[in-house]
């Protein structure tokens, strides 16, 4: 018997009241819910409809049953409609020439700041990402000390935190726009969970900036990098956890380096107050909660990384903006920004060395480089391993400390050097131990939600 045209067969079956799959058992074969599955399943349809131009509504009405009949009856997207653009070519959509925006991105592809690096060799990818981490985070560290200490005179901490969140929100919105939007298969993240994490992130950054009014930048960097000390102390005392001898030795070495450095700073620096240490400890606690909950949210609700970061920083911006306005830092910050000179020059009435435009450019670069550095760090963690990122991060932190002493006036004693060397050696050993436990490739939100230290 001569085989009927699939479209005619479908119409005949529909008129007879029988399901189309009853006449075509092969159509019952399940199809993988991917765009490649759609192209393969609809190949016969494409060959016959390659020149058809339909508007969106008519295409959905006339071609939906035929595509579903070829693909397995339930739709290759698990029941989700195939996007057909109004006035567009049906063949282009079905054949793969024009992929719909709701198709998930290929997990093997490497995107950094909206750029596809997948065509590069692994060595070039790693060199590009590690170079980006070094370039952006070193500039970020330099600008942070320049703005907080030199320009603002260790004031306007909340205003600076709001500016940072503004830059992060803008850049995360741009990345979210560039990235493919995955098909949503689970419920949306409750707004209350976003709100809690955003408030914690606001506290984290706010405490960090406030602490710099009481501590020098190198001391702040070392304390922020010693989270493992507080984590192990809390686990051993509060939860009775047991750690290996090597872990205890590493933490003790790190703590010894930190104590030696802080003792030297307390003797030689005019800016040292214990309240700054407590602020940084509070910041570390907030950061630990954020990292843990970020992973849980992304796995539980199947939310994309770009969407998660955009929502986190946008809500944090609103929260920090409200606090900044209520505290009066907003008015003082805008007045400072529009007045030529640094904070010390404005208060003393001396000749200004900074213009309003120069200060605005410095703030914009400060708010951007931190986000860029985190993006490249996240790419290294996802594409290579936590070990690779730990080594790059540790080397970068050591470079940041030495550059801080080189570019900004502060006394560096042999005790400072001994403390930094002990701390960095311990940090490097800790990174190696932690990285070997997670050598497999990971897809983590923590690398991007975590701010540069």
Question: Which residues fall within 8 angstroms of residue 59, CB to CB, at 6 or more apart?
Answer: 84, 90
Is pLDDT of 347 > 80?
Answer: yes
Q: What does pTM read for this prediction?
A: 0.68
pLDDT tops 80 at residue 351: yes
Beta strands in 83-154 (DSSP E): 111-112, 115-116
Residues 130 and 346: their CA atoms lie apart, in Å, by 40
Higher pLDDT, 431 or 210: 210
Per-residue model confidence (pLDDT) at position 109: 72
Does the pLDDT at position 126 exceed 50?
Answer: yes
Residue 115, SS3? strand
Q: 3-state class of 313 per DSSP?
A: helix
Kindly report, residue by residue over 200-246, the tens digit of the pLDDT. 999 999 999 999 989 988 889 888 888 777 767 766 776 677 888 88
Q: How far is CA 241 from the centre of its chain?
A: 30
Q: Whose CA is closest to 202, among 160, 261, 243? A: 160
Sole residue written with tokens 């001994």: 418
What span, in angstroms and rounded, lies between the C-alpha atoms of 84 and 58? 10
CA angle 59–61–64, rounded 5-degree value: 80
pLDDT tens digit sequence for 279-313:
998 998 888 788 778 777 877 887 777 788 888 99
Percent of the chain beyond pLDDT 90? 28
Average pLDDT over residues 310-336: 94
């Amino acid at each position: 018997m001569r085989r009927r045209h699939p479209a005619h067969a479908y119409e005949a079956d529909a008129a007879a009241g029988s399901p189309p799959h009853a006449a075509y058992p092969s159509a019952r074969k399940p199809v993988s819910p991917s765009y490649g599955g759609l192209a393969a399943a609809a190949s016969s349809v494409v060959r016959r409809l390659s020149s058809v131009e339909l508007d969106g509504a008519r295409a959905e009405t006339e071609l939906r049953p035929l595509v579903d009949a070829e693909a397995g009856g339930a739709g290759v997207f698990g029941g989700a409609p195939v996007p057909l653009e109004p006035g567009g070519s049906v063949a282009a959509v079905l054949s793969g020439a024009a992929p719909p925006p709701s198709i998930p991105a290929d997990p093997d592809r490497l995107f950094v700041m909206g750029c596809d690096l997948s065509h590069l060799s692994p060595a070039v990818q790693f060199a590009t990402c590690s170079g980006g981490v070094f370039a952006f985070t070193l500039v970020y560290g330099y600008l942070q000390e320049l703005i907080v200490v030199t320009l603002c005179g260790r004031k306007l901490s909340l205003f600076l935190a709001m500016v940072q969140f503004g830059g992060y929100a803008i850049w995360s919105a741009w990345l979210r726009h560039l990235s493919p939007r995955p098909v949503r298969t689970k419920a949306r993240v409750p707004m209350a969970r976003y709100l809690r994490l955003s408030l914690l992130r606001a506290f984290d950054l706010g405490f960090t900036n406030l602490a710099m009014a009481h501590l020098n930048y190198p001391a702040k960097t070392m304390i922020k990098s010693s989270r493992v000390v507080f984590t192990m102390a809390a686990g051993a005392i509060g939860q009775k956890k047991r750690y290996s001898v090597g872990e205890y030795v590493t933490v003790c070495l790190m703590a010894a380096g930190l104590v030696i450095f802080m003792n030297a700073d307390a003797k030689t620096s005019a800016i040292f107050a214990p309240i700054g240490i407590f602020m940084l400890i509070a910041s570390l606690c907030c950061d630990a909660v954020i990292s843990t909950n970020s992973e849980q949210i992304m796995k539980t609700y199947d939310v994309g990384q770009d969407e998660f970061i955009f929502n986190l920083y946008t809500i944090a911006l609103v929260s920090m903006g409200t606090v900044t306005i209520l505290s009066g830092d907003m008015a003082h910050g805008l007045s400072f920004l529009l007045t030529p000179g640094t904070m010390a020059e404005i208060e003393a009435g001396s000749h200004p060395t900074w213009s309003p435009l120069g200060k605005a450019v410095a703030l914009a670069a400060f708010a951007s480089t931190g986000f860029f550095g985190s993006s490249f760090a996240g790419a290294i963690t996802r594409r290579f391993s936590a070990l690779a990122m730990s080594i790059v991060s540790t080397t970068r932190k050591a470079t940041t400390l030495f550059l801080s002493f080189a570019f900004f006036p502060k006394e560096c004693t042999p005790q400072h050097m001994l403390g930094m060397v002990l701390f960095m050696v311990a940090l490097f050993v800790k990174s190696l131990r932690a990285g070997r436990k997670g050598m497999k490739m990971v897809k983590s939100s923590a690398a991007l939600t975590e701010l540069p230290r």
